[in-house]
Chains A and B, each alone.
Chain A
């Protein structure tokens, strides 16, 4: 199993069961640097579970994962984040009592000099000391991070900047999703995983997100996207992976996937297809 030079992420034979229900069955795929790959499939297909396995919030029963040339199957989510993986959550997990700006700053947690994910008591004490004494280097760094966070908010036009100092729980649903996206970008990821970024958004807002994602793509960011809105998927993706019942049933360029009889079958077979998904475990 060699990891090609341009491959950023590779999953091999991932498998995850929940008490007899197979959520992800023998899933293998790869994502190249700079590529935009979308995962589509009906509700309960296992898309979010796959994201959880990739980001380390859940562990596969079998299978292996490589990222940036390292095997990460056994790494904690913190370590994977440090390697450059950032994600958003399907059901929205902005920190409710943190302001919008603080949410974004938290996204930049690993961009601080003193917060390496592998911790020793001594490094922790050094961090505590810096937080209390705020030496010039620390204060400079925090100021730089705030500037960068604010610049990130500005990428969402007038949506977030006026609300930068409001706690996230006061935001509209759409703005909370934007906050999550800004938080993920603050990590300066090499791979961004987005779980239904336009869920619950109206067509105007969806178009706005599409434009935003196109900009990210143009900047060369690698995207892995779960999305139900096929228009957006077709327009944005280099490649589409179709899942049903935990299995990859088709994979390829958007146009060829759209015509694949197995995909059409999956469309017809599921009344739930494309509807906003019901509340399920993250």
Chain B
């Protein structure tokens, strides 16, 4: 590869710059919003995706000319952006920073599902309405679309600079970004500044969506999440909240990806962005281009721990467990039993989140990564090494605990929303490594024909047996979590969650207890992942994805932070209930998104309260 002709590298450079321009457009929007509203907008990718679909409808269905399609996409996206700010976020600005982050994640789920309901999940072809002509430049050539993309990015950036520098509104925006309170005293309407930032940012996002659709000749709903991540990494590289940094960061990310893919192969593309996400957040939080702006300090108190409403129900838990154990004797409906079995495995995951997030206060969006380690470890131990399932399950959970918590150690020093994003990155890095470690994991092909779980050698296949096995696992995980919660360990974790500074003043070594929380949490999540792998019989690098982590966190917030019974209740409410109410099953992610948004807004202490 390294001895490829110069023209090959020039081509890669052009590709990188073009893609980088698109990343820059997305990143500029995120930077504007971060600057003015001080929040990472995870719904930005959804706005971008909506823009892409709007452009696609205008061009392929309505046969409008490109400029009209662009304008429509920008307008529609701007409207959506303003609605997000007005309806979803306005009430959250005075809350801990993790609250609006989670709200935007919920909004993103909701928007993605709505678009999917309208247009289905199948990617739609998007032929660029441009001549296929390429402009020769010495040994290489540039497509018209490449030129258009570069022109639009540069044009948008210049227009934005002009707007920010020379107009009164732009001045208000910059004032609000610099110091909200001072701006308010000078008569700047900061609510309007926020709205304006969302409008401009979202319009740019929508345009980027159309460009990406044309560049890759397709639009699909899941493009939204990747766009958010790429935009955020670009923004991070350039220094969070810096518009000019966002442009440089975008192009840099585009180049790194382009060269990386040329050297290692296309499957490495996302690994680079996730690795950079974690590394830059942890080691270079002010970005690559100087120390203009460090991560804004989080308040010393005020993790996301709403107080109150605690309900304790150990007796009820015992009765419920016995009741649950009897279910298969009353009904042998396999559909019911399967639904409940998978709900139990989810509840186990929710328990793991309760330990690390609910109790220790370390918001983790990387739990699916622990599951993936557990799932792959167990499947490989059984299939390649011939270890019996019962032992493999235990070893897999231990590997998830050890490897997972080790991978998480760099993020211990981050707080609040940055921790959440970095853990998300770690979880995805696990999946990207699985994707690219062909020799061990089977790469993109995944692992198929994983043997079913066994008990004392007898396979667990009948729905009734699977049901009991998952219930036993859940009860075991619950008891384990409860032992820790009731010991001094649970107290120490909750103290860290409530106030890290005060905890340190009493001799609590934060890193030690965060590690223990991730270790315990990784063990339980690993159990869930391992059992899941053997019941699915097929897994790949997408089986345990970010959505799973987000769903698990939603369950924990629904049940009440640090509340073990609440986590189980939340899991059952969000997985079994919609499944059993058939009508809702198709709208599941819509439901998840709405539940998350409404909880954060109206009942952050969840159903059973914070413990």
Contacts and interface: CB of A to CB of B under 8 A. Distances in A.
B582 interface: no
Nearest to A114: B488
Interface string B228-267: 0000000000000000000000000000000000000000
A98 B307 contact: no
Contacts of B173: none
B505 A128 contact: no
A106 B495 CA distance: 8
Given A57-B504, A95-B499, A106 B305 contact: no
A109 B487 contact: no
Contacts of B520: 128
A119 interface: yes
Contact of B489 (A110, A118, A127, A282): A127
A16 B238 CA distance: 31
A97 B502 contact: no
Interface in A77-101: 77-78, 81-82, 86-87, 89, 93-98
B455 to A, nearest CB: 24
A112 B504 contact: no
B504 A78 contact: yes
B384 interface: no
Given A128-B519, A282-B300, A169 B307 contact: yes
A171 to B, nearest CB: 12
Contacts of A77: 504-505
Contacts of A131: 483-484, 487-489
A119 B492 CA distance: 15
Nearest to A145: B488
B488 A93 contact: no
A78 to B, nearest CB: 5
Interface in B479-527: 480, 483-484, 487-489, 491-492, 494-495, 497-499, 501-509, 511-512, 515-516, 519-520
Interface string A260-282: 00000000000000000000011
Contact of B492 (A106, A118, A169): A106
A92 to B, nearest CB: 10
Given A81-B506, A87-B505, A132 B480 contact: yes
A81 B495 CA distance: 16
A167 B515 CA distance: 26
Interface string B322-353: 00000000000000000000000000000000
A96 B505 contact: no
For B307, B487, B507, which residue has the most chain A Cβ atoms within 10 angstroms? B507
A107 B495 CA distance: 10
A95 B498 contact: yes
Contacts of B611: 97
A94 B495 CA distance: 9
B113 interface: no
A252 interface: no
A19 to B, nearest CB: 12
B310 interface: yes
Given A97-B307, A106-B492, A183-B506, A124 B512 contact: yes
Interface residues of A, number: 42
A10 interface: no
Q: Interface residues of B: mostly helix, strand, loop or mixed?
A: helix
A110 B506 contact: yes
Contacts of B503: 95, 106
A142 B505 contact: no
Interface in A135-181: 142, 167, 169
Contacts of A93: 301, 499, 501-502
Given A57-B501, A128-B489, A128-B519, A97 B507 contact: no
A81 B510 CA distance: 14
Interface in B290-328: 300-301, 305, 307-308, 310
Given A115-B507, A132-B480, A98 B495 contact: yes
A128 B492 contact: no
Given A128-B516, A132-B483, A169-B308, A98 B504 contact: no
A117 interface: yes
B406 to A, nearest CB: 10
B190 interface: no
B308 to A, nearest CB: 7
B610 interface: yes
A44 to B, nearest CB: 18
A105 interface: yes
B489 A95 contact: no
Contact of B512 (A76, A96, A119, A169): A119
A132 B504 contact: no
A124 B488 contact: no
A167 B487 CA distance: 17
Contact of B516 (A105, A127, A282): A127
Contacts of B483: 131-132, 134
A152 to B, nearest CB: 14
Nearest to B562: A97
B488 A96 contact: no
Contact of A97 (B484, B498, B509, B515): B498
Nearest to A101: B491
Contact of A106 (B307, B480, B491, B501): B491
Contacts of A81: 504-507
B507 A82 contact: yes
Interface in B179-207: none
A265 B516 CA distance: 55
A28 B565 CA distance: 54
B487 A132 contact: yes
B225 to A, nearest CB: 33
Nearest to A183: B506
**A-B pairs, 6 with minimum CB distance:** A131-B487, A81-B507, A119-B512, A110-B507, A131-B489, A95-B498
19 contacts: A57-B501, A77-B504, A77-B505, A81-B505, A86-B506, A93-B499, A93-B502, A95-B499, A95-B503, A98-B491, A102-B491, A110-B506, A119-B509, A128-B489, A131-B488, A132-B480, A132-B483, A142-B487, A281-B300
Interface of A: 55, 57, 76-78, 81-82, 86-87, 89, 93-98, 102, 105-107, 109-110, 112, 115, 117-119, 121, 124, 127-128, 130-132, 134, 142, 167, 169, 183, 187, 281-282
Given A97-B610, A102-B491, 15 more contacts: A55-B505, A78-B508, A94-B502, A102-B494, A106-B508, A109-B488, A109-B492, A110-B506, A119-B509, A124-B515, A128-B484, A128-B520, A130-B487, A131-B487, A132-B483
Interface of B: 300-301, 305, 307-308, 310, 480, 483-484, 487-489, 491-492, 494-495, 497-499, 501-509, 511-512, 515-516, 519-520, 562, 610-611
